[in-house]
Structure formats: C-alpha cells, structure tokens
Amino acid sequence: MLICATAAIALCLSCAAKADSLQSARVLLKVSNTAQQFDRQIQNHVTQVLRTYSSIVAMETGVELPDPIRAAIADCYAREYAWHKFERGFAVILSQHLSAVQIDLLIGFYRNQGIPPNQIQRFKNAIASAGAIAVNSADLIYKTSPGCVQQDSRLITKYLFEAGL
C-alpha cells in the first residue's frame, strides 16, 4: 500500500513538474517574441509565394493574378498558419528539449537579465539544442497544417479557365 501511495505521489509531482515546464516554455515563447517572428515569417512566405505564382502566370499567359485571387491565397496562409494552432506544440517541444533551468536561463536572457557565470555552460547547452528544436518545430508545422498549395492551385486554375487562358 505504501508503495502505491509513493508511486501516486511521484506521478503527481511528475505531472506538476511537466505542467510547470510547459508554462515556463510558454513564458519563453512570449518573452522571445516568437509569435511575432512566426507571423513575420509567414508574411514573408506569403509574399514570396504570391510573387512566384504571379511570375509564373504572367510568363505563361501574359496576365496578372487579380487581387481577389491574391487575397484568397493570403487568407489561406493566415488561417492555416495562425500562431494559435502551433503555440502549444512549440511549448511542448521546448519543454522536451530544454531543462527547467535552461528555460529559466533563456527567459532571463530575453528579459536582459544576463547569464550568471556559473550557468554559462547550461546556457551553451540550451543553445546547442536549437537544431533539434528547429527540426521538431518544422515537423510540427508539417503535421499540423495541410498547407495551401492545393487550394492555391485550384484558385489559379479556375481563374485561368474562366478567363479562357
């Protein structure tokens, strides 16, 4: 009976620690302005996609993509890649790859609190996790969103067909 009670307490403590780590990871996302950076990258991607589609259509047909088609494409990316769809997943990834101490160090760093000399190696280890975090984040995005390419293709094809091109 004592073993079961001890196991239950350990499980509760483990769940509480994971919840704290997840909350700290969310704080890290907030203080590092990750949402704004993510949104900026999506906007840059949309600009590049629209430029590419417009160039292809103009070269092949001699016409420009109309604003309603461009707006529909941009709306798809805004909807499919909205920050709220990924925030929790990014926090989970951070909490899986970084210790609570590393997360706290990064929070302090982003809040301009500096890194204590005795924590520099832990900070370096946290930074060294960036590659794995990036790979897992890209995988999360890929798995979470169906993307917009198929919709984009349908919109452009329909427009060209209706225009007799």
pLDDT tens digits for range 74-128: 999 999 999 999 999 999 999 999 999 999 999 999 998 888 889 899 999 999 9
Classify residue 33: in a domain, yes or no: yes
Domain housing 120: 21-162
Distances (CA, A) of 56 to 45, 62, 75, 159: 17, 9, 20, 14
Classify residue 2: in a domain, yes or no: no
What's the structural domain count of the chain?
1
Residue of 56, 59, 90, 53 lying closest to 74 (CA atoms): 53
Classify residue 11: in a domain, yes or no: no
0.75 surpassed by pTM: yes
50-66 mean pLDDT: 94
Classify residue 102: in a domain, yes or no: yes
Classify residue 8: in a domain, yes or no: no
Classify residue 86: in a domain, yes or no: yes
Task: Give dist(CA 37, CA 139) in Å, integer.
Answer: 18
SS3 9: helix
Classify residue 15: in a domain, yes or no: no
- φ/ψ of 163, rounded to 5, equals -85, 0
| pLDDT score at 18 | 52
Classify residue 53: in a domain, yes or no: yes
